[in-house]
Structure 1
Amino acid sequence: MINQLSWKVGGQQGEGIESTGEVFSIALNRLGYYLYGYRHFSSRIKGGHTNNKIRVSTTQVRSISDDLDILVAFDQETIDVNFAELRDGGIVIADSKFKPTIPNDTNVTLYSVPFTELAAELGTSLMKNMVAIGTTSAILDLDPSQYHEVVNEIYGRKGQQIVEKNMEAIKKGAEYIKEELGFNREDLFLEKADEQKRMFMIGNDAIALGALAGGLRFMAAYPITPASEIMEYLIDKLPEFGGAVIQTEDEIAACTMAIGANYAGTRTFTASAGPGLSLMMEAIGLSGITETPLVIVDTQRGGPSTGLPTKQEQSDLMAMIYGTHGEIPKVVMAPSTVQEAFYDTIEAFNIAEEYQCPVIILTDLQLSLGKQTVEPLDYSKIEIRRGKLMEESNLAELENKEYFKRYEITEDGVSPRVVPGMKNGIHHMTGVEHDESGKPSEAAGNRKAQMDKRLRKLMNIKFKTPVHTDTKHENPDLLLVGFNSTRGTIEEAMDRLENDGISVNHAHIRLLHPFPSQEMLPLVQAAKKVVVVENNATGQLANILKMNVGHADKVSSLLKYDGNPFLPHEIHTKCKELL
């Protein structure tokens, strides 16, 4: 029996590959297994190879596996593209309709199953994916009835007859591979899980849920891969809480609308990807100079321009920190797990209001769309902090003053804030430089005072865990540094390096700007060599580390920018070469 399994299903986009992975993984999650999934899909609605790779384990996993135990193929291209991942002793389960073949002289077994034919016997070949799930359940020694709850949830709205037909398809697949093909390999039977109830969700859903928990009541956005699920989730859920989502004509409108709603006192955000953030840059500057809270999610994908819209990359980092014209205070945070995506979204709203500045939640495609097992969320940790938002009772003493000092010079750089309509809270609101009451002013002394005031905010930013650290050694041979979704892959590579006798520490940066120099400096100083792991071509995080911490002679980059996420063996192998 095995306690961990790597399973992949592949075929042409539009023929049920995603639903196959969904039914399989949700059922296993409910049995108590930990899962980590990653979808490879094309930037078109139908056609083109797509696959869903899912890692199943009795213990926590946070990365894609290097190899593959089972490949379920709906066409020959799936075998050709993914065969190299199969481990020695792995198996291919393929639809006999396309007469599948595998390379000779390999210790991989091909099981040809008539997915399409068996499904057609039940009335429609569309259920071939359920037949495939049935074959997998038999191989893993799982009872097909354990899929009933999930099938009912997904297909129940089409009627119970459809549910029963799908269940029958699963049973047919299981019976065929056992009875017709005589499959009986206990080395692929999956150990029983602990049956604990856990969530199973993508990072985008966690961000949307975190926004709801953090008091969001309005979202303005334009759909774009890989951010659209945030908007889609909230379109469904936000009205239940008295909120609304507006699909705008473009990202410029989305960002300015979010600024306006925040100015009016409503917690609001927008979400997009690199091309959308490029369009928002002028508006982000407006948020900075008017000191209006603003939360934006940037789900990184392959660029530039349209680039690789459905593939992994981490190349927006410099743009998010330095993209706006002029100089404004800005916070850029980077969750590394689905759990962190939930809690960090709530904190983003708090920071945006406390420091009255734009806050960017930076994720990447692997984190945004990769589905992970999530431990139950702790709602008792949630707190809402609105900073220096005034109550009308606090404004009574201003009765005889002409204007409210919305941009008052303060020691911490944060001025008192009011929302429109508060008595005695009248002030100017403009995108040009202004004095304390908001009136336009180009006076040199005022300009310097207002700039200094705004930038002082960055000196006081409080973020609970700016760097996630795993430091087992005082003077390690190697310090591995990363951000966003590479965390689990780095952790797995660390264990392999340690087994090779190499001492390794790990720093995963969660607050990218203002950069946590004080936290990173002693870690860099202690290590003999520093390797920064990132999905881009120019080593953006490595360069930021050098700028803020120094010790450039110690820092090397491990880069991958072909659209695919890192695998543990790649980090393990490359680090050994660098040492």
Structure 2
Amino acid sequence: MISQLSWKIGGQQGEGVESTDRIFSTALNRLGYYLYGYRHFSSRIKGGHTNNKIRISTYPIRAISDDLDILVAFDQESIDLNAKELRSGGVIVADAKFNPVVPEGIDARLFAVPITAMAEELGTSLMKNMVASGASWGLLGLPLEVFNKAVEEEFGRKGAAVVEKNIEAVKRGAEFVLEQAGGPLDEFKLDEADGRQKLFMIGNEAIGLGCLAAGCRLMSAYPITPASEIMEYLIKKLPALGGTVVQTEDEIAAVTMAIGANYAGVRTMTASAGPGLSLMMEAIGLAGMTETPLVIVDTQRGGPSTGLPTKQEQSDLNAMVYGTHGEIPKIVIAPASIEDCFYDMIEAFNLSEQFQVPVIVMTDLQLSLGKQSCEPFDYNSIQINRGKLVQDAPEQEPQQLFKRYELTPDGVSPRVLPGAKHGIHHVTGVEHDETGRPSESAVNRQNMMDKRLHKLDGLYVRDGLRTDAPSETPDLLIIGMGSTGGTIDQAREWLANDGVTTNHVTIRQIHPFPTEQLIPHLQQAKKVVVIENNATAQLAGQIKMHAGFADKMRSLLKYDGNPFLPSEVYKACKELD
């Protein structure tokens, strides 16, 4: 019996790899296993190699595995590209149609299954994904009735006949491979799962659900990988709550529409990736100058330009912090888990209205599109804070306007919605006085700049610095952001076995930078390594600029489009000894 196992399916994009993974992992989730998935796919609709890898465990996990136990291959290319990950004694389940061959030097057991032929016997080659799934499920010795239930949920809308044929495809795949193998493989028999209910979703879905819980009722956006799933999720959910999604002509229209709707009092957001964020920069400055709440999600991908639109990167940090011309206050937060994606969206809307600033939620492709298990969300903990939103504005003197940009001790001015009695004021992107009237007065300019820039003084968001610090004087402090946290924790386990003491800090508040909270951790550590998916060490640069300690700091960078593997972090940290 084993506590975890890694499974991967590969083939040409558009031939059922994604649906095979979806149904296979859904059935595992029904049994109560913890799952962590990673999608490798091309920026095209059909064609080109794609693969989905799932790590299955009886305990919580937040990283992909280095090795592989079972590889399901729809073509020889999938074997050639992925077999190197197989551990000694691993298994390849391949379609007999292409006469599969195990590459030289790979110690793996091959099961050539007539996957396509079986599917065609049932009426269509499209069902080869179900044959392949059945073969995998059979080798694991898991109950077919659980898998069949997942099949019913997937195909039920297509009618009973389609469901029955797919269930038959699963059965045939399982029976064929079990006959070849002589029964389920003992070395791949998983310990029983805890059976507890868990959510199983991608980060983008958790972001969308967080938006709904926060009271968002409008999303204006333009489709772009890897952010589009947020839009697709809300298209399905918002109408039932009286809201809507507007697909705009471009990202400039999306962000300006969001600004206008927020000004009108509707909690509104937009989401994009690096290229779209670039187009939004001027409008982000408008939100800062007019002190209008604005929430933007940036799902980072490989850049610059079109770059690697379907690959992992964390290279937009500096753009989010510094991209806007001029100087405005803004908040940048970085979720590090599926749970964070949900709760951080609620906090983003609250912060945006509390401080009347743009809030950018920074995710990365692996966190946004990697499907993972997570605990059910606590809806009772949700609180909505709309800040200084004035319901009854005081009566003004004749010919006087409401002081929408009033100079206040905390820098946050009272806010009214358009049409509110006694709330008339100007709104303009040029510098203005307390009522919004344009002003080029030097004194007014300095007062307004100070008011805006100091409203975030001392801000520290919920869990802005997540720490796992069991040692007061660790050999090594490992710092990361976004999706790197689980990978770092796996590497730390191996380092601990080697006698290396480590602490782990995940920086979730990117801007304003949590300097005071981070410094004590930097002081305690003998050495510091910063893990990030970019080429120019952007997170390390922020740390050095705000907190110092450059002399003890090293960077581990990866910018080939793939997420970090635990072994890569482990080896790099060992080399620092």
Aligned to 1:292: 292
State the match for 1:68 in structure 2.
68
- Structure 1's consecutive aligned runs of 4 or more residues displaced over 2 angstroms after TM superposition are 103-107, 180-185, 396-401
Aligned to 2:566: 568
How far apart, CA to CA, are the structure 2 residues paired with 1:281 and 1:482?
Answer: 26
Given the alignment of the two structures, is residue 98 of structure 1 paired with residue 98 of structure 2, yes or no?
Answer: yes
**Contact 2:460 / 2:514 at 8 angstroms: preserved in 1?**
no
CA RMSD of aligned residues (A): 0.9
1:378 is matched by which residue type in structure 2? D
User: Deviation of residue 547 (structure 1)?
Assistant: 0.3
Q: How far off its partner does 1:150 sit?
A: 1.5
Task: Report the secondary structure of 1:449's partner residue.
Answer: helix
Distance apart, 1:181 and its partner CA: 4.4
Letter in 2 for 1:471: A
Counterpart of 2:109 in structure 1 is 109
Write the distance in 1 (CA, Å) between the matches of 2:136 and 2:144.
10
- Structure 2 Cα separation of the partners of residues 416 and 400 of structure 1: 20
Shift of 1:208: 0.4
Residue number among 488, 505, 508 corresponding to 1:507 in the alignment: 505
- In structure 1, the partner of 2:138 is 138
SS at match of 1:533: strand
**What per-residue deviation string (whole Å, max 9, x for no partner) do you get for residues 264-306 of structure 1?**
0010000000000000000000000000000000000000000
Which residue does the alignment assign to 2:330? Answer: 330
SS at match of 2:454: helix
Give the conservation status (yes or no) of the 8 Å contact 1:282–1:325.
yes
Report the equivalent of 1:493.
491
Q: Which residue of 2 aligns with 1:194?
A: 194
Cα separation, 2, equivalents of 1:106 and 1:65: 18
Give the aligned length: 577
Distance 1:208 1:89 in 2: 41
CA distance in 1, matches of 2:451, 2:351: 17
Q: Which of the residues 444, 452, 455 maps onto 1:454?
A: 452
CA distance in 2, matches of 1:241, 1:462: 32
Secondary structure at 2:36 match in 1: strand
Measure how far apart 1:461 and its partner are. 2.4
1:224 and 1:545 map into 2 onto residues whose CA distance is 31
Equivalent in 407, 410, 427 of residue 409 of structure 1: 407
2:58 alignment partner in structure 1 = 58
Alignment partner, residue 204 of structure 1: 204
Partner of 1:528: 526
Question: Aligned with 1:398: secondary structure?
Answer: coil
Kindly provide the amino acid, as one letter, of the partner of residue 502 in structure 1. Answer: V
C-alpha contact (below 8 Å) 1:41/1:51 kept by paired residues:
yes
Instruction: Specify the code of the residue in structure 2 equivalent to 1:116.
Output: T
1:124 paired with 2:124, answer yes
Gaps of at least 5 residues in structure 2 are: none
1:376-424 CA deviation, whole Å, 9 max, x = no partner?
11001100000000012xx234354610000011111100000100011
Give yes or no for the alignment of 1:7 onto 2:14. Answer: no
Given that residues 399 and 424 in structure 1 are in contact (C-alpha distance below 8 angstroms), is that contact kept between their aligned partners in structure 2?
no
Q: Which residue of 1 aligns with 2:396?
A: 398
CA contact (8 A) 1:258 1:294 kept: yes
Structure 1 residue 106 displacement after superposition: 3.5
Number of the residue aligned with 2:252: 252
Residue identity opposite 1:578 in structure 2: L
Q: Can you give the 5+ residue segments of structure 1 that lack an aligned partner in the other structure?
A: none
1:15-41 deviation line (CA, Å, top 9, x unaligned): 000000000001100110000001000
Rounded to whole Å, the distance in 2 between the matches of 1:180 and 1:276 is 52
Tell me by how many angstroms 1:342 deviates: 0.1
Task: Look up the SS of the partner of 2:361 in the other structure.
Answer: strand
The answer on whether the counterparts of 2:30 and 2:146 sit within 8 Å (CA) in structure 1 is no
Percent sequence identity over matched residues?
A: 65
In 2: Cα distance, 1:464 partner to 1:375 partner: 19
Q: Which one-letter code corresponds to 1:426 in the other structure? A: I
Say whether the 8 Å CA contact 1:311–1:365 is kept in structure 2. yes
Q: What is the alpha-carbon distance in structure 2 between the residues aligned to residue 141 and residue 229 of structure 1?
A: 34
- Matching of residue 341 in structure 1 with residue 341 in structure 2: yes
Deviates further, 141-150 or 267-276: 141-150
| Structure 2 CA distance for aligned equivalents of residues 213 and 188 of structure 1 | 40
- What is the CA-CA distance between 1:157 and the residue it aligns to? 1.2
| Alignment correspondent of 1:376 | 376
SS of the residue corresponding to residue 7 of structure 1 reads strand
Report what 2:301 is aligned to.
301
Amino acid at match of 2:418: P
User: Which of 532, 549, 552 pairs up with 2:550?
Assistant: 552
Shift of 1:104: 3.3
Given residue 100 of structure 2, which amino acid in structure 1 is its aligned partner? P
Any conservation in 1 of the 2:460–2:509 contact (CA below 8 Å)?
no
Q: Secondary structure at the match of 2:455?
A: helix
Counterpart amino acid of residue 432 in structure 1: V
Residue 538 (structure 1) aligns with: 536
Identify if the C-alpha distance between structure 1 residues 564 and 453 changes in structure 2 by more than 3 Å, giving closer, same or farther: same
**Given that residues 130 and 169 in structure 1 are in contact (C-alpha distance below 8 angstroms), is that contact kept between their aligned partners in structure 2?**
yes
- Indicate if the aligned counterparts of 1:224 and 1:273 stay in contact, CA closer than 8 A: yes
| Equivalent residue, structure 2, for 1:86 | 86
Larger deviation: 119-128 or 543-552? 119-128
Contact 1:412–1:460 (8 Å) recurs in 2: no
Q: Which residue of 2 aligns with 1:177?
A: 177
User: Cα distance, 1:3 vs. partner?
Assistant: 1.3
| TM-score, structure 2 as length reference | 0.99
* Contact 2:111–2:180 (8 Å) recurs in 1: no
What are the Cα deviations for residues 334-376 of structure 1, in whole angstroms up to 9, with x where unaligned? 0000001000000000000000000000000000000000111
What is the Cα deviation at residue 145 of structure 1?
1.8
